[in-house]
Structure 1
């Protein structure tokens, strides 16, 4: 059950359900939009040219996936956003933050996934 944050320039059409995470229940999605003056990024990193259509997707999830599953996720996100709303795959920046299960609290001050003491 990941939490997802998307960051993009104001006016980009990346607000639909193209950030699909297969086989998981999405708990929260936060979308941050910035004016061009407040959205600074490297135009070229690792030989990948980024444009003003850059979409940054940060997923925080339990540390339970294999490298193969992660690669498949990144590929699927890029394909979905290329299909609609036509974001180039070079402009789909994904950051997966993996945490231990006890690092979540969904309310009431309780770490619901932590082992009982």
Structure 2
């Protein structure tokens, strides 16, 4: 049940965002065992003056195409699952979107089932699955 925010520079077309969404969802399904229909993604586009990102901090160098993916998930994953997700996202974004691996940053946060209400003002329980 991940909730994902994707921050990117303003100006990418619908096709680019759809492809990024597909890559992300496929990666979550294969690396995090997320069901196919469990897809909640928000795209945030920013003008360059609203993106203050150090170009070389812990990176060989970021460009103006820098993309940040923030994932909030309800069930913790292992370090190996996280590494596999990071690697698959970087590879697929490079192959399918021509996004340099240095231009992709991923941040994952975990919480608990009771931190979610999917609708109707009801707390989420694992029995709902």
Same fold by TM-score greater than 0.5: yes
Q: Partner residue of 1:19? A: 24
Per-residue Cα deviation, 1:30-84 (whole angstroms, up to 9, x for no partner)? 0011111112211111243111110100111023311100110111111111011
Query: Scaled by the length of structure 1, what TM-score is found?
Result: 0.88
Q: Partner residue of 1:68? A: 80
1:43 match: secondary structure: coil
Distance 2:97 2:109 in 1: 25
Distance 1:12 1:107 in 2: 31
Q: Is there any run of 5+ residues in structure 2 with no aligned partner, and where?
A: none
Distance 2:3 2:109 in 1: 10
| 2:35 matches 1:30 | no
Q: Is there any run of 5+ residues in structure 1 with no aligned partner, and where?
A: none
Q: Give RMSD over aligned pairs.
A: 1.8
| 2:112 matches 1:107 | no
1:87 to 91, 99, 118: 99
Which contiguous aligned blocks of 4+ residues in structure 1 show a shift greater than 6 angstroms? none
> What is the Cα deviation at residue 2 of structure 1?
0.6
Distance 1:100 1:106 in 2: 13
